Amino acid sequence: MKPAPAFAELAATSNFSFLRAASHPHELVERAAELGYGAIGIADRNSVAGLVRAHVAAKAAGIRLVPGCRLVLTDGPDLLAYPADRAAWGRLTRLLTTGKRRAEKGGCILSLTDLAMLEGGFAGIVSAPQVSHEETEVLSSKINVLKNVFNVSFHVAAAPRFDGCDGPRLARAAQLAEACALPLAATAEPLMHVPGRRPVFDVLTCIREHCTLADAGLRLAANGERHLRTPADMARLFAAYPAALTAGAEIAGGLAFSLDDLAYEYPDEPVPAGRSADGQLARLALSGARARYPEGVPDKVRAQIGHELRIIRELRYAPYFLTVHDIVGFARSRGILCQGRGSAANSAVCFALGITAVDPARSDTLFERFVSAARNEPPDIDVDFEHERREEVIQHIYARYGRERAGLAAAVIRYRARSAVREVGKVLGIAEDRAAALARTVWGRSSRSPDAGQTRAAGLDPASPEAARLLALARELIGFPRHLSQHVGGFVITRGRLDEVVPIENAAMEARTVIEWDKDDLDALGILKIDVLALGMLSCIRRALGLIAAHHGRVLELATIPAEDAAVYEMLCRADSVGVFQVESRAQMTMLPRLRPRTFYDLVIEVAIVRPGPIQGDMVHPYLRRRSGKEAVEFPSDELRAVLGKTLGVPLFQEQAMRIAMVAAGFSAQDADRLRRAMATFKHTGQVSFFRDKMVEGMTARGYEPAFAERCFQQIEGFGSYGFPESHAASFALLVYASAWIKCHYPDVFAAALLNSQPMGFYAPAQIVRDARAHGVEVRAVDVNASDWDCKLEEAPQMALAVNGVQLKALRLGLRQVRGLSEADAKRLVAARALDGPFADTGDLAARTGLAKAALSRLARADALASLKLDRRPALWAVAGLEDAAPLPLFAAAERSNGGPRLDDAPPPPLPPMGTGEAVAEDYRMVRLSLRDHPARLLRGRLDNLGFAPCADMARAKHGSWVRAAGLVLVRQRPGTASGVIFMTIEDEDAVANLVVWPKSFERYRATVMAARMVGVAGRVEHEGNPPHRVTHVIAERLYDLSDLLDGLDEASGRMAVASRDFQ
């Protein structure tokens, strides 16, 4: 006798039915495998967002996944739909797309008539609600209409709820089934994988209903019975309907669709008629190479291109390259700066096509890092575009390929520690400020729930049951998806209709549409994605080049900036790098004087080295020691010298790790790539021993010491997932050099471009301006008679000469700096000024610009009316006295020309004068910086009394001596590597100081570290190196919150606005 088929549960709901189910897709799959199910079907509400994760988990667990979807209709019962083949899947996704495109973000509107779009080829299950006798007829007529759609199989299901009415419920479901002439299916309709998830489920319900646990009443689950049950249990519950038990397995048997069937096809637009993709690619590559190397293509590069084209042809990736080339070409045609990054820069073909900028003739590229025949997944090209013009590129893609074929990848927004604590706190009814305080102790976007110390600091007793519940539930909630959002820039483009691969929905942003899968899902399915990313520095560089052309008469492109300029490297060695791409952070500034970059390759290393991987893998110190001559540079063999020569024998890059495996252990290129990928996931896949053995064997076979081989492998293992690809570092290094060159030679232009490209970078406008002034640039305040929206350059005959003998201009701050002034208003002002010349008085200003009083007050408070001979307070007074409606232009003009009484001719109002402290505070409040003075200078007397020395003294103090200093908090940073150490940067009127706060001190002074705007520190000074390349830190022993002193500068509102940047 054939054994009965194993039970299959097809109606599971995962937490991708947001806030309605309490288990991750992989949890459901794994539990189903544990229970011995024959198959598991996941059907989320009007969504397939979780299916790929389930698919991957199912493969790992060895159980079959039946992909499906629960169609929630506006005018009918819930229908679970399972496509039987690829074509049916396409119809399902198109149906979902239709429903989603007509709804707001996150919604889906479907009615019974829409289901006709499915046509046929589906297995269906009607999720029978509690039907009364009268409703059966109506319902059965609705269901009968759908038999054409669900022509593979059609069942009626009812799940036990354990509410005392299960017997009648199942009986009525059986009646309904009979009335419709359909069989019954047994299902538990699980909303969680184990009953222990009930508390989380209740919390989700409360979040969804916006109520607290105490108010939820009957909305909470009466029991936790909606979970995956053992087959024996199901048999017991459906003992009266034995045929229903095998229904699930039968349904699964009739379906043949798996997500693996989603084969991917690249678009063929970029291929002209009559040519093949490979042919076209080859032509473009060769002509591009000739353009790149006017003196003739080097042999090495020619060979490399040939090699790459062979692999590309074999793997049939040519259309992908052509698509990316097409997009980049569009950008270039519009003068949008762009550059490829990442592993793609390993490709000579990409360089030839102009996608990347790393010259294979000068660098050592490894194509297999980018594309490998062994890998069964498409390449991943990330291209950075100017952040301000990226939208043009995005809309071009939509226009060229159409919204049915192009869409942005999704990003799953999940609960992290902070949001989880806040939401659970709200649900549990914990006072909002307590929960918020606890949430704030979590650093940034961490996923680690707060520990006992943090809980105590927030005013909650960690031992109390209240706090324990909060923390336990928050921990479970972390990682749950909340909703889908759009990915930063990952585009999916298909040849056929994209909405026949995956549903497309509306994004929150207008004119954007998003697919339901994120980039991990796309990778898992082998669907190609192009990352259209935004890089602020590209916008900044483009602006800078434009300003140089306009004001200094020198026309440059990114590619024609003079290379290898010693003055630029000297500047970087001094850590004079505020605003420079990638090397302006505190960590980089301390590394620059140690590493002392003198050539381009040094920059490549600089970019790669200051990251968790190399630091943890203990690469950085050996490298620096060898570089400074403290250690001898030696290589275990000549072949390794070839690989590690450029990095002095220390492996720093992923490609080097791969090459070591290839060269010293005899790995093939594909194997080496597998090694690299395994390194990134060692913890998960447990392939450590396999690769270790392979490497050690290979190396010993070629004559290396086994101990050495082991050490090599350990090193590689150490920085596996964090090591940079060299190509990526090289792409970035190009931008480092370019931005440093601009800063070195044209600091006026650099500052203007940086300010106009905000928000970006590590520093706030106040620091950019300070740095510019330190480099001799005169900075002029915002003024209605001189400023445009953007910051600009003006003539300044008295200024000092810059490095190369060029006369620097003065920087006029733009109206964009004024807090709360809209761009539209600013443009109106500028236009009015352009039309009729400078404004004479406030009445003139108001009349000609037509700005509202609120906008004019902002300008007055920002001290922008100085050219009207009005100080702040008289200016505000004048503005307040204007008529609300602008006077009719004709009358106003007549009055002016008649020499009629001008508003400002009235005697000045008897207003009290403004002190410097108040003025500085108001500057910070309205313009985010002050040209007048620094708050620390104004408080210098008080600071001296309290025993704090200026920050500039830190550099001069003796190593190890005890010092006290104070300043505004600029930056707080807690890098993931540094075992809980916090770095802070404080600034006073002349200098900055870098503070190091060890975890013990952090615990004692947590509130001060996290929230203070001005801080005093007492601790020991530590120096490294000698001037001028010395790096100084203050190890903080005690910290003082001096924010009150700041507030004291401005008595009126009592709160001085200083914002610091916080980094992970």
Partner 1 sequence: MRDGAGIWIEAGGCAHLLGGEEAMCRTVVADLARLGHAARAGLAGTPGAAWALARTAKTPFAIAAPGTEREALAPLPVAALRLDPATVEALCALGLRRIGDLYPLGTAASGRAELARRFPPLLLERLDAALGLVFEPISPIRERTRHITRFTAPEPVRDGETVARITQRLVETLCPMLARDGLGARRVTLTAFRADGRSAQIDCGTARPLAEARALMRLMALCLPRLATGPGADAFALEATETDPLRATQARLDGRKDREDDALTLAPLVEKLAARLGNGRIGRLAPRPRHLPERAQSFVDAFGDIPDTPDAATAARPLRLFARPAPVAAAATAPEGPPAWFRWQGTVHPIARAEGPERIALDWWRLDGWQGDPPAMPETLADAVRDYWRVEDARGARFWIFRDGPWRPDAPERWYLHGVFP
The residues that touch partner 1, with contacts defined as CB under 8 A, are: 162-165, 167, 195-196, 198-199, 202, 213, 217-218, 220-225, 236, 428, 449, 451-452, 463, 465, 467-469, 471-472, 475-476, 861, 873, 876-877, 880-881, 906, 909-914, 1051-1053
| Closer residue to partner 1 in complex, CB, 164/759 | 164
CB of 903 to partner 1, least distance (A): 11
CB of 968 to partner 1, least distance (A): 23
**Nearer CB in complex with partner 1: 209/618:** 209
Q: Which helix (H) or strand (E) holds 484?
A: strand 481-493
Which CB, 737 or 877, lies closer to partner 1?
Answer: 877
Between CA 245 and CA 220, with CA 28 as vertex, the angle to 5 degrees is 90
Tokens of 813: 């701050």
Is residue 332 a contact partner of residue 338, using CB atoms and an 8 Å limit?
yes
| Encoded tokens for 160 | 């036990």
3-class secondary structure, 532 = strand
* Shortest separation between residue 171's beta carbon and partner 1, angstroms: 12
Question: Which residues neighbour 892 within 8 Å (Cβ) at sequence distance 6 or greater?
Answer: 843, 844, 847, 886
User: 3 vs 164, which CB is nearer to partner 1?
Assistant: 164
Where helices occur in 775-915 by DSSP H, the ranges are 823-836, 842-849, 853-861, 872-880, 889-897
Q: Which is nearer to partner 1, 526 or 887 (CB)?
A: 887
Measured from the CB atom, is 795 or 905 closer to partner 1? 905
Min separation Cβ 451 and partner 1, Å: 8
Tokens describing residue 893? 């003009």
* Residues 6+ positions from 383 with CB-CB distance below 8 Å: 324, 327, 328, 338, 339, 340, 341, 355, 530, 531, 532, 533
Q: Which is nearer to partner 1, 888 or 906 (CB)?
A: 906
Q: How, if at all, do strands 792-794 and 810-812 pair?
A: antiparallel
In contact, 321 and 353? CB cutoff 8 Å: yes
Rounded least distance, CB 901 to partner 1, Å: 13
Residue 1057: CB minimum distance to partner 1, A: 14
Question: φ and ψ at 936, to 5 degrees?
Answer: -65, -35
Other beta carbons less than 10 A from residue 279's beta carbon: 14
Closest approach of partner 1 to the CB of residue 166, in Å: 8
Other CB atoms within 10 A of residue 80 CB: 26
Whole-number minimum distance, CB 1056 to partner 1, in Å? Answer: 14
Amino acid at 1001: S
The packing angle between helices 318-333 and 277-292, to 10°, is 50
DSSP category for residue 867: G
Give 195 or 776: the residue with its C-beta nearer to partner 1. 195
Q: How far is the CB of 12 from partner 1 (least distance, A)?
A: 20
> Rounded to the nearest whole angstrom, what is the least distance from the CB of residue 163 to partner 1 in the complex?
6
Diameter over CA atoms, the chain = 112
Chain centroid, CA 294 distance in Å: 39
Tally Cβ neighbours within 10 Å of residue 669.
19
What's the rounded Cα separation, in Å, for the pair 857 and 864? 10
Smallest separation, CB 335 to partner 1 (Å): 44
Is the Cβ of residue 1 or residue 1052 nearer to partner 1 in the bound state? 1052
Q: Are 503 and 262 in contact (CB under 8 A)?
A: no
Q: How far apart are CA 99 and CA 367, in angstroms?
A: 43
Residue closer to partner 1, measured from CB, 276 or 1053: 1053
For residues 1047 and 1057, give the distance between their C-alpha atoms in angstroms, rounded to a whole number: 9
Instruction: Please give the C-alpha separations between residue 324 and each of 97, 305, 318, 346, in angstroms, as whole numbers.
Output: 26, 17, 10, 15
**Helices 688-701 and 654-665, axial angle in degrees (round to 10):** 50
> What minimum distance in Å lies between the beta carbon of 877 and partner 1?
6
Q: Rank residues 311 and 468 by Cβ distance to partner 1 and give the closer one.
A: 468
Lookup: tokens for 1030: 């010395």
Q: Burial-class residue 515 by CB neighbours within 10 Å (0-12, 13-18, 19+).
A: buried
CB of 980 to partner 1, least distance (A): 17
**Residue placing its CB nearer to partner 1 in the complex, 236 or 283:** 236
**28 or 467: whose CB is closer to partner 1?**
467
Give every CB contact of residue 300 below 8 A, 6+ residues apart in sequence: 360, 361
Residue type, 245: L
Smallest separation, CB 202 to partner 1 (Å)? 7
| 3-class secondary structure, 246 | coil
Which regions of 84-162 does DSSP assign to beta strands (E)? Answer: 122-127, 153-158
DSSP codes joined into one string, 45-76: ETB-TTHHHHHHHHHHHT-EEEEEEEE--SSS
Compute the distance between CA of residue 789 and CA of residue 818 in angstroms, rounded to an integer.
10
Closest approach of Cβ 854 to partner 1, in Å? 11
Please say which residue, 273 or 1052, places its beta carbon nearer to partner 1: 1052
Residues in the chain: 1064
Beta-bridge mates of residue 1036: 1019
Nearer to partner 1, 810 or 914 (CB): 914
87 vs 468, which CB is nearer to partner 1? Answer: 468
Which CB sits closer to partner 1, 237 or 331? 237
Instruction: Compare residues 838 and 1054 and give the one whose CB is closer to partner 1.
Output: 1054
At closest approach, how far in Å is the CB of 238 from partner 1?
A: 14
Least Å from the CB of residue 464 to partner 1: 8
| Integer Cα distance of 337 and 330 in angstroms | 11
Q: Where are the alpha helices (DSSP H) in 442-498?
A: 452-457, 465-477
Q: Which amino acid is at 156?
A: V
Give the 3-state secondary structure of residue 799: coil
Judged by DSSP in three states, 231 sits in helix
| Minimum distance of partner 1 from residue 859's CB (angstroms) | 13
